[in-house]
Amino acid sequence: MPVVILSIAAAAIRGTAYYMRKRSKLKDGDKDIAKERQREKKIELSRGGSSLPTVVAHILHPEHELYLDFGQTYRCNACLQYGEGKRYRCRGLCGFRVHPNCALSYKMICDLFQTDLQTYAHKYMHPLSIIKDSSDSNCKHCKNKCKDLIRYHCNTCNKMFHLACAVHPTRLLSFLHPNHELELKTRPIDARCNVCYHSGKSNARVYCCKTCKFYVHPDCAIKFQYVKSLIHVDHILVFRPLPSYESAVCKGCNRECKRWRYTCSVCEGVNYHEDCLLRYEIVRSNASLEEVGHLCKRSFVKAFKDGFKDGFKDDFKDDMKEQFHDESVWDLIAQFLEALFS
Ligand SMILES: [Zn+2]
Ligand SMILES: [Zn+2]
Ligand SMILES: [Zn+2]
Ligand SMILES: [Zn+2]
Ligand SMILES: [Zn+2]
Ligand SMILES: [Zn+2]
Ligand SMILES: [Zn+2]
Ligand SMILES: [Zn+2]
């Protein structure tokens, strides 16, 4: 009997030691990330601090431009969460105000598509290319599974990286948590992703705000905030968190929406699970379940491209072009997504 107990104890100690070894390696890496993050911040400061544009166009308020200013507590018209300080505001009587992250969330998606990307996420700094791949692989930087079909890849080392991890290896600004910067860190053992509710791989990194206990997987962080879908042609659908005191039923499957869902920016009671929105697009397009992962994103790209071409005033276009570096970024994204479904 004592032998059994002893061997169980020994196995437990071995297990713990193994776990600690694995964990400490990633924790050390977290320290390196923190250093890199400071370095990135210094570079930004030396370039003149915040590079937020002073005027933006917004897909939910196409009538007027929005201007960057400061204010007391406000409720954001896009995510419906509260904010303080910097905001984009309509100078008319409309009272339309949004978080900077909710005004620029489309820009983040544009930034994800870069050619020959050299990134801190890959220690050898080999240029990474964007590929379409459905193989079962883990991201080299955060150790989570790559679920999205579109990934960064190092041809030299044959390693995969999430789009988010490659482009934002230390920190992320996202509309999902608009008031604070998210940092990539090893996930605390009991923490769940705020968007998918799963914990995912243990001993892997997630973007987090420690103050608010907000965690999100790198591939769950890539969501389009605004989507134009044929399922609800009249208005833009917005990816929003459901407040804990409210309930919502998905019009696609009649089941409850737990927290994040696409909801109409105008009508009450129009809610769709992300998957139900995608399923609708599958039926419409005849694409396979695997291929359709980005259809929702494609609808967004189209919505924004249309807005960019027709809706916005000319003097805006130059401003927008500057934000996107160059208009051909859109073409790159559109070509890439079209290639997926043709
Ligand atoms: Zn917001
Ligand atoms: Zn207005
Ligand atoms: Zn990753
Ligand atoms: Zn490499
Ligand atoms: Zn997740
Ligand atoms: Zn926070
Ligand atoms: Zn549903
Ligand atoms: Zn509507």
pLDDT of residue 9: 52
- Bridge partners (DSSP) of residue 98 are 88
Final residue of a structural domain among 221, 250, 267: 221
Contact 205, 186 (CB under 8 A): yes
Taking the centre of ligand 5 as the mean of its atom positions, its distance from the CA of residue 187, in whole angstroms, is: 12
Q: In what order do the strands lie in the sheet with 66-75?
A: 55-56, 66-75, 82-90, 97-98
Q: Could you tell me if residue 13 is inside a domain? A: no
Total domains present in the chain: 3
Please tell me the pTM assigned to this model: 0.78
144 and 213 fall within a common domain: yes
- The reply to whether 151 falls in a domain is yes
Measured in Å, residue 271 CA sits from the centre of ligand 7 at: 8
Are 313 and 261 a contacting pair, CB within 8 Å? no
The ligand minimizing its distance to the Cα of 101 is: 1
For ligand 3, the distance from its centroid to the CA atom of residue 26, given in whole angstroms, is 13
- 12 in any annotated domain: no
CA of 139 to the centre of ligand 8 (A): 38
Tell whether 215 and 326 lie within a shared domain.
no
Collapse the DSSP code of 130 into the 3-class scheme (helix H, G, I; strand E, B; otherwise coil) and give the result.
strand
Residue with tokens 């599958």: 282
In a domain, 8, yes or no: no
Q: For each successive 10 residues of the chain (342 residues), what is the average pLDDT?
A: 50 50 66 85 70 85 91 94 95 94 82 84 92 88 88 94 94 95 94 92 93 94 80 86 92 90 94 80 47 44 46 41 46 49 37
List, in order, residues 6 or more apart from 236 with CB less than 8 Å away.
Answer: 59, 60, 226, 227, 228, 264, 265, 303
Domain for residue 7, yes or no? no
In a domain, 106, yes or no: no
* Residue 50 neighbours by CB distance under 10 Å: 10
Same domain, 238 and 163: no
Residues 86 and 199 in one domain: no
Question: Are 132 and 216 contained in the same domain?
Answer: yes
How many Å lie between the centroid of ligand 7 and the Cα of residue 273? 4
For residues 230 and 327, membership in a common domain is answered with: yes
Distance 185 CA to ligand 4 centre (A): 22
C-alpha 224 to ligand 6 mean position (Å): 20
From the CA of 263, the nearest ligand is 8
Cα(159) to centroid(ligand 3), Å: 11
Q: How buried is 233 (Cβ within 10 angstroms: 0-12 exposed, 13-18 middle, 19+ buried)? A: exposed
The amino acid present at 141, given as its one-letter code, is H
- Residue numbers of the domain that contains 206: 24-51+113-221
- The ligand that comes nearest to the alpha carbon of residue 214 is 6
Structure-token pair, residue 12: 């437990």
CA of 221 to the centre of ligand 5 (A): 8
Cα-to-centroid distance, 62 and ligand 2 (Å): 8
Q: What is the CA radius of gyration of the chain?
A: 22
Contact present, 218 and 162 (Cβ < 8 Å)? yes
**Domain match, 30 and 147 both:** yes
> Is residue 10 in some structural domain?
no
pLDDT at residue number 49: 55
Separation of 60 CA from ligand 7 center, angstroms? 24
Residues forming a β-bridge with 237: 227, 264
Ligand nearest to the CA of 159: 4
Rounded to an integer, what distance in angstroms lies between the CA atom of residue 88 and that of residue 269? 27
238 shares its domain with 268: yes
- Residues 41 and 33: their CA atoms lie apart, in Å, by 12
Same domain for 169 and 296, yes or no, is no
Decide if 1 is inside a domain. no
What contacts 191, CB < 8 A, 6 or more positions away? 199, 206, 208, 213, 215
Q: How far apart are CA 179 and CA 184, in angstroms?
A: 16
Residues 284 and 320 occupy one common structural domain? yes
Ligand 6 midpoint to CA 213 (Å): 7
Asked whether the beta carbons of 333 and 297 are under 8 A apart, the reply is no
DSSP state for residue 137 in the 8-state scheme = -
Q: Enumerate residues with CB within 5 Å of ligand 2 (an ion).
A: 64, 90, 92, 94, 96
Q: Are 63 and 169 found together in one domain?
A: no
The neighbour count for residue 85, using CB atoms within 10 Å, is 13
Domain boundary pick from 194, 221, 248? 221
57 contacts 312 by C-beta, under 8 angstroms? yes
**What is the 58 CA–ligand 8 centroid distance (Å)?**
17
The Å distance, Cα 102 to ligand 1 centre, comes to 5
Compute, in angstroms, the gap from residue 199 CA to the centroid of ligand 5. 7
